[in-house]
Amino acid sequence: MPAINRNRETLFTALLDGLVLCMSWYLFTVLKPDLSASIASSERITLIVLGAFHTLYWLLIFSLMGLYKKLYLISRFDEFLKVARATAIGTLVLYFYVSLDGNLKVTDAFSSVAIYALLLGGTITINRFVIRSIQRFYALRGKGLHRTLIIGTGKNALSAYDDLGRNKSLGMQVVGFIHVPNGFEDQPLQVDKDEIMGNLDDINRIINEMEIQDLIVALEPEKRGDLVKVLSRVNNPDVKLKLLPDFYQLVSGLNKTNQIFGLPLIEISPDLMPAWEKFTKRLMDLVIASTVLIVMLPLIIIISVAIKWNSSGPVIYTQKRVGKNGKLFTMYKFRTMQNDAEAETGPTWASENDPRITAVGALLRKTRLDEIPQFYNVLKGEMSLVGPRPERPYFVEQFKNDIPLYSRRLRVRPGITGWAQVKWKYDSSLDDVKEKTKYDLFYVENMSLRMDFKILINTLFSMVRAKGQ
Give the whole-angstrom CA distance, residue 408 versus residue 352.
29
Q: Give the 3-state secondary structure of residue 417.
A: strand
Tell me the whole-structure pTM to 2 decimals: 0.67
Buried b (16+ CB within 10 A) or exposed e, 196-211: ebeebeebeebbeeee
Indicate the pLDDT class of residue 133, thresholds 50, 70 and 90: confident
* Model confidence pLDDT, tens digit, residues 353-396: 667 788 888 888 888 888 999 999 999 999 999 999 898 888 88
**Nearest CA-CA partner of 204 in 79, 325, 311, 123:** 325
Mean pLDDT (the chain, rounded): 80
Of 407 and 345, more confident: 407
Write the DSSP assignment of 254-300 as a string of letters: -S--EEETTEEEEEE-S--S-HHHHHHHHHHHHHHHHHHHHHTHHHH
Measured between alpha carbons, how far is 320 from 390 in angstroms, rounded to an integer? 9
pLDDT at 251: 39
Q: List, as own/partner pairs, every contact residues 50-54 make where C-beta atoms lie below 8 angstroms and the sequence separation is at least 24, other chains included.
A: 50/25, 51/22, 51/25, 51/26, 54/21, 54/25
DSSP-derived secondary structure letter, 338: -
Each residue of 253-311: pLDDT tens digit?
444 445 444 455 666 655 667 778 888 999 999 999 999 999 999 999 999 999 989 88
Q: Please, are residues 319 and 333 in contact by the beta-carbon 8 Å criterion?
A: yes
**Three-state DSSP class for 196?**
strand
Q: What ranges in 151-270 are assigned the alpha helix state H? A: 155-166, 203-210, 227-233, 247-252
**Rounded to an integer, what is the distance from CA 275 to the centroid of its chain?**
9
- Other CB atoms closer than 10 Å to residue 459's CB: what's the count? 22
* Residue 35, pLDDT above cutoff 70: yes
Q: Dihedral of the CA atoms 404, 410, 412, 416 (nearest 10)?
A: 100
Domains of the chain, first to last: 6-140 (no CATH), 146-268 (3.40.50.720), 275-464 (no CATH)
Q: What percent of the chain has pLDDT over 70?
A: 81
The rounded distance, in Å, linking the Cα atoms of 235 and 222 is 24
Secondary structure letter of residue 4 according to DSSP: P
State the Cα–Cα distance between residues 210 and 195, nearest whole angstrom. Answer: 13
Report the pLDDT averaged over residues 109-116: 81
* pLDDT above 80 (res 332): yes
Q: Please, are residues 220 and 156 in contact by the beta-carbon 8 Å criterion? A: yes
